[in-house]
Structure 1
């Protein structure tokens, strides 16, 4: 039986190629912890996680001080067992963002190892449900962009073959959001999908007010209208509007998703493979959503979510936000508005180790 003999952690800080502002924050740096697990037969698994500017060093410390030492001498084949044991070993800090992000780095590395071991791409290893998934872009919809640029970017996306585009909302008055959405809808026509994202900015009353005016634009969804811990508010809003309500990027456990689904508090699930704690729990959330006949439209991480979406039958979209270009040599494949999962064994991400090692803000080995 194969055993893990050592692990390496790299922390690489990446600057987005475009300015990204939403209703509550600016995304100026992506901290990217990368984990490489090395086994006694020479095989390896590589995984990663991310933050949008804070907490990356805390994730690395949790990995190096507490989680990775537990893996030495353990078989990487027992993924479910490893996830459960690591989760309970951090019981005092779970459920929580830092713990989930750290678990994800390990879990994705283990799945990478498993898929490489069986010579399968991840999407086949994890289910193999779809060979292509529609893709929408968020890169031209940031809140700081003026209306003319929003329109220009949406038309560019449509001409490039994207099936939809997402815009940030949360301007100081509802009339500003309406003007922006109206201009883009008029430009792209009725068949091009539009999504809006408030990044948890609104109160219940304001979300209801805006949702009622959004209905005229036939939106694919209204994303994160309220703080993620306000499930009652999401229930009231979902009952109030015909616009589908999307949540998930700020939920960190399977139980939270179950509660939202049980109470009819959302109709789109946006589970994030890093924030939920890895591929193992991501798949459970996706199958849970399927049991409620709810679509999965994962948040961010397109290089990984293209494979996760292809693995399950109820994934409806992949979000296009380039993330790893400066430290990888592979690119997401998009044909006629559909993202296609990579066919290479493992995660399908070709890491540029020269760039990673050169630009690592922190590096540590555990054996």
Structure 2
């Protein structure tokens, strides 16, 4: 057991590998807050989270001024107590994205520290339920892409062993149907096609579109409505056989509980970077298991593979490369399946030379000092 003596923080801003657009926005950059927590034995844990282009400086200010100082002198193994204390000290700004993203960077660093001290990979320390998971790709399904590009990418994914692909929807209804139909005709019935509306529709339009998409045998309709419209999701779920998927824009375990209790979704896409870290991610995953609902998390494949391997009800990993520019080794993929790392910790091989070169707003706070930027 060792107490926290130092917390470092910085941010890097990573450009997307390909243009990414959906029905409501473009993914212009990936602001990536990174936190390192050092204990009195010299053990180091590294955590991170992300934005899609806005809010990063606000996240870093919250870490610097409020969260990092709170950790000093605390027992690093008390993850649940630390998460609760961080939640309480930010109670005036929760539930919300900025707070959850900041909490995620802290909590994932604490879990990395715990795993490294134990000499275990995250997927084993957190549960050890699965050896690998199938991948589906989103990188070739963005809304701005033309139909031929969607088909080509899905065929390439199938040839690489992937079992599915996701297509963004939100063009005029007939265009969406034609685009999805072209991919279905090309890849056949054994390949999964998922769709994602990114909260673009009102309830009436979502019901109409679900009826039109249904004949194309899609695996799920993701974020059909604004995330705070639980009643609308419940109405939609009751009127279609298409699984309704939600989660990337939900920032509280209690919000997931309401969805599950009201049968307003049948796929949970809890995102570790948006729910506030690994501690609440595991709560949501196990809660979904109690409802016999699958977990198919949004984004962050490099971290989610370990978490999905830890729980029995995880079904898919979303393939969107995120960290290649700041890691020395990518996620292990064989025949379209993702495998968690066996190295102690989160399983991410950070490239610290690249991180230092790209660092924005770095700082640290040390036990017995006032800390600050450097």
Mapped partners of 2:346, 2:235: distance in 1: 39
User: Partner residue of 1:123?
Assistant: 123
User: Partner residue of 1:275?
Assistant: 274
Gapped regions of structure 1 (runs ≥ 5) = none
Aligned residues: 366
User: Partner residue of 2:153?
Assistant: 153
User: Partner residue of 1:94?
Assistant: 94
User: Partner residue of 1:77?
Assistant: 77
User: Partner residue of 2:321?
Assistant: 322
Mapped partners of 2:70, 2:322: distance in 1: 30
Does 2:232 match 1:233? Answer: yes
Q: How far apart are 1:74 and its partner, in Å?
A: 0.9
Mapped partners of 1:191, 1:217: distance in 2: 12
Q: Secondary structure at the match of 2:193?
A: strand
User: Partner residue of 2:11?
Assistant: 11
Mapped partners of 1:95, 1:148: distance in 2: 41
Mapped partners of 1:17, 1:256: distance in 2: 32
Q: How far apart are 1:336 and its partner, in Å?
A: 1.7
Q: How far apart are 1:189 and its partner, in Å?
A: 0.3
What do residues 245-278 of structure 1 show as CA deviations (whole Å, max 9, x unaligned)?
Answer: 0000011111000000000100000000010000
What do residues 114-162 of structure 1 show as CA deviations (whole Å, max 9, x unaligned)?
Answer: 1111111000000000001111000000000000011001100010110
Q: Secondary structure at the match of 2:11?
A: strand
User: Partner residue of 1:48?
Assistant: 48
User: Partner residue of 1:166?
Assistant: 166
Q: Secondary structure at the match of 1:275?
A: helix
Q: How far apart are 1:330 and its partner, in Å?
A: 1.7
* TM-score, structure 2 normalization: 0.97
CA RMSD of aligned residues (A): 0.6
User: Partner residue of 2:133?
Assistant: 133
User: Partner residue of 2:369?
Assistant: none
Q: How far apart are 1:28 and its partner, in Å?
A: 1.2
Mapped partners of 1:347, 1:45: distance in 2: 9
Q: Secondary structure at the match of 2:9?
A: strand
Q: How far apart are 1:217 and its partner, in Å?
A: 1.1
Q: How far apart are 1:335 and its partner, in Å?
A: 1.2
Q: How far apart are 1:31 and its partner, in Å?
A: 0.1
Mapped partners of 1:366, 1:217: distance in 2: 55
Q: Secondary structure at the match of 1:127?
A: coil
What do residues 274-324 of structure 1 show as CA deviations (whole Å, max 9, x unaligned)?
Answer: 100000000000000000000000000000000000000000000000000
What do residues 206-231 of structure 1 show as CA deviations (whole Å, max 9, x unaligned)?
Answer: 11111001111111100000000011
Q: Secondary structure at the match of 1:281?
A: helix
User: Partner residue of 1:358?
Assistant: 357
Q: How far apart are 1:3 and its partner, in Å?
A: 1.1
Mapped partners of 2:125, 2:55: distance in 1: 31
Gapped regions of structure 2 (runs ≥ 5) = 367-374
User: Partner residue of 2:246?
Assistant: 247
Mapped partners of 1:69, 1:7: distance in 2: 8
Mapped partners of 1:362, 1:184: distance in 2: 44
Mapped partners of 2:17, 2:68: distance in 1: 32
User: Partner residue of 2:284?
Assistant: 285
* TM-score, structure 1 normalization: 0.99
User: Partner residue of 1:340?
Assistant: 339
User: Partner residue of 2:189?
Assistant: 190
Q: Secondary structure at the match of 1:274?
A: helix
User: Partner residue of 2:143?
Assistant: 143
Q: How far apart are 1:38 and its partner, in Å?
A: 1.1
